[in-house]
């Protein structure tokens, strides 16, 4: 079972290992405040960036995380 979990966690989804997606989704609990989410997203982005540098996927990770953040918290439109 541990071998399966290891393989599943390393499986890329949109170019990002599944374990990082799980970590990302855990940020959004029902009781999470916006401040906690922002702090957790910053910490998550730092952790993924450090891991991605070893895999040479940093640009892909940044692009996906930036798109997710923009989708969740779109910037207000200019008047």
Cα of 58 vs its chain's centroid, Å: 12
- Chain mean pLDDT for the chain: 77
Write down the pTM of the prediction: 0.53
Is 31 or 59 the better-scoring residue by pLDDT? 31
Q: Domain locations in the chain? A: 2-72
pLDDT digits (tens, 9 = 90+) for 57-76: 667 777 777 887 788 777 77
Q: In this structure, what token pair is assigned to residue 14?
A: 């949109």
């Amino acid at each position: 079972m541990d071998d399966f979990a290891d393989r599943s966690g390393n499986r890329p989804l949109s170019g990002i290992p599944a374990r990082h997606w799980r970590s990302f989704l855990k940020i959004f609990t029902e009781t999470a405040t916006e401040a906690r989410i922002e702090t957790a997203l910053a910490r998550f982005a730092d952790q993924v960036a450090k891991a991605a540098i070893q895999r040479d996927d940093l640009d892909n990770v940044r692009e996906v995380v930036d798109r997710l953040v923009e989708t969740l918290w779109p910037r207000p439109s200019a008047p």
